[in-house]
Amino acid sequence: MQAANSIGTSLDFFLFVAFALFTIGAIGAMTRKNMIVLLMCIELMLNAVNLLLVTFSTYYGSGDAQIFVFFTMVVAAAEATVGLSIIIMAYRNLKSIDIDMFNQLKN
């Protein structure tokens, strides 16, 4: 294996990209306070995982992982729908989309 030569042509490159995307999504979710951006960061992380699954699917030559990605997309679509409607509700009540405003559940 010539790791140095194979950058860009081997599957581990995609893994690297997936990890990078996941990390970026996580950092974004931790730092940004806008709820919509937060939701987008979560979408980004989901996509990173999707990429990871497709990569492994290719490596193992099995389609099951791709079916899994399909289901992830389905769930993500549902989640985005509900999440966004929650955000709309929240904005209506609080006139803000700051995620830190929504810490009232503990009391």
Partner 1 sequence: MAKDLTLILILALPLIGFVINGTIGKKLPKVLVGGLATSVVFVAFLLALTLFNGLNGVQIVRLFEILNYDQITINASFQIDALSVWMTLIITGIGSLIHLFSMGYMSHDPGYHKFFTYLNLFIFSMLLLVLGSNYFVLFFGWEGVGMCSYLLIGFHYNDLQKGKANSLAARKAFIMNRIGDAGLLLGLFMLLGQFGTLEFQKIGTALIANPALQGGAMLLITLCLFIAATGKSAQIPLFTWLPDAMAGPTPVSALIHAATMVTAGIYLTVRSNFLFELAPFTKEIILYIGLATTLVAAFMALRQNDIKKVLAYSTVSQLGLMFVALGFGAYTVALFHVTTHAFFKALLFLGSGSVIHGMHEEQDIRKMGGLAKLMPITHFTFLIGTMAIAGIPFLSGFYSKDEILAQALHHNPAVYAILVVAVTMTAIYMFRLYFLTFHGAFRGGDALRAKVHESGLSMTLPIIVLAFLSVFGGLLNLPGLFFHGAAHWFDHYLSAGTFGLSEVHNAHLDFNTSIGLMIFASIIALGVLFWALRNYAKKGALAKADDQMSAWETLSAKKLYIDEIYDLLFVQPLLKMSAFISNVFDIQILRNGVYALANGVVNTAAQTRKWQNGLLSSYLFWMVLGIILFVSYYILKISVWH
Partner 2 sequence: MSLQVISIILGSLTIASALMVILSKHPVRSVIYLVVTFFFITSMYIMMNAQFLAIVNMIVYAGAIMVLFLFVLMLLNLNKEVEPVTNRGAQISALIAGGSLFLVLISALKETLILGQNYRTQDSSIGLVKELGNLLFSKYIVAFEITSILFIAAMVGAILLAKREKQIIE
Q: Residues 39 to 68: which contact partner 2 by CB under 8 A?
A: 39-41, 43-44, 47, 50-51, 54-59, 61-64, 66-67
Q: Which of 26, 36, 44, 87 binds partner 1 (CB under 8 A)?
A: 26
Q: Which of 1, 3, 4, 105 binds partner 1 (CB under 8 A)?
A: 105
The answer to whether 79 and 40 are in contact (CB under 8 A) is no
Q: Which two tokens stand for residue 29?
A: 């979710």
Kindly give, in sequence order, each residue whose CB lies less than 8 Å from that of residue 28, ignoring residues fewer than 6 positions away.
Answer: 37, 38, 40, 41, 44
Q: By CB under 8 A, is residue 38 in contact with partner 1? A: yes
